[in-house]
Structure 1
């Protein structure tokens, strides 16, 4: 199970929010109610209610600008498209993400083959690192929680699955994550390149 934002894809939300609200992202964060975003991300309120809460807290966001910048800013992080493809070719592979309904835009970048199912907090009504998130994904995929292997850039999510008996990789780069999956026996080791025939070794 791969996390999405910050692991597979760059998430442009900080820049999009700041430009659409006309302030720094830190100022935006201080004005926004974290409880309301949490409810939106878990699908407990819809997008209209979310924007309405921001306005009620004095945060005026140019919503069309936010969405335009957000949609334009999704992109693969280096090496991660190939790593996802290689994992999906070798094992049942899914994406498990804390994200609101906007995840539909981001996952358009995910190739259709090999198939990778997407489980988001807005679908499951619960966020990582809550154990219920991992339990829901395990149920939906016909596995148990200890069967799961998580790749995530958030240490708290990694620690949560480890505590439940699963395996996890704290993602910092495609190279280190690939090596960690090799070490777990989930991907073959890359062939070591020897000197080119007829050329002196360095």
Structure 2
């Protein structure tokens, strides 16, 4: 029986990142939007894994940045804002789930996003919030799911996991977690 609902953040609780937000970040960085987009995702795994913001944005912009460079704070804020459009369907689901399940969050996220989620009033329904940047592990690595299970004090069969990435769902299911592929609503 499921006692824990473990939910992903990006494209499950939040809506997909709007193209106009990505374009605004590219403009802020003074980069071609297509080049910026490619470099943003190319280096994202290490950022989600805990790499410092100034090093990540330096990789994206192909130049050295100091931790106190104003562009780092501006890009961090724009990035967090781009992922902060909440999915109304998921917000309703959270309300329904709070009555009968214990809730936990598991997200591949960099520290600025993790901190923003932790401050959000809606996030307080989660008994536990797990972030790749703080665990030095990321989905779909089975070790992140094993660590979450230990910290929840749960057996795999006690957990239902919702994620929008098939590879993450498959990794959780391989451990015996009831894993469900979430399909975000069509933005049209």
* TM-score, length of structure 2 as denominator length: 0.75
Per the alignment, in what secondary structure is the counterpart of residue 180 of structure 2?
A: strand
Residue of structure 2 aligned with 1:14, choices 15, 22, 26: 22
Map of 1:37 onto structure 2:
44
Q: Does 1:2 align with 2:7?
A: yes
Please give the per-residue CA displacement for 1:118-142, whole angstroms capped at 9, x wherever unaligned. Answer: 1010111111011001001101110
Q: For 1:42 and 1:125, locate their aligned partners in 2 and report how far apart those are by CA, in whole Å.
A: 5
Per the alignment, in what secondary structure is the counterpart of residue 111 of structure 2?
A: coil
Q: For 1:4 and 1:31, locate their aligned partners in 2 and report how far apart those are by CA, in whole Å.
A: 22
Aligned residues: 171
Please give the per-residue CA displacement for 1:10-44, whole angstroms capped at 9, x wherever unaligned. Answer: 3457345323223354312444683x53222112x
Structure 2: tracts of 5 or more residues without a match? 1-5
1:145–1:4 distance in 2 versus 1, CA, 3 Å: same
Higher deviation after alignment, 68-77 or 91-100: 68-77
Q: Does 1:94 align with 2:104?
A: yes
Q: For 1:29 and 1:165, locate their aligned partners in 2 and report how far apart those are by CA, in whole Å.
A: 35
Q: For 1:165 and 1:70, locate their aligned partners in 2 and report how far apart those are by CA, in whole Å.
A: 34
CA RMSD of aligned residues (A): 2.8
Map of 2:3 onto structure 1:
none
Map of 1:111 onto structure 2:
122
* Cα deviation, residue 159, structure 1: 1.3
Map of 1:81 onto structure 2:
91
Larger radius of gyration: 1
Structure 1: tracts of 5 or more residues without a match? 175-202
Q: For 1:29 and 1:155, locate their aligned partners in 2 and report how far apart those are by CA, in whole Å.
A: 22
1:136–1:173 distance in 2 versus 1, CA, 3 Å: same
Map of 1:69 onto structure 2:
78
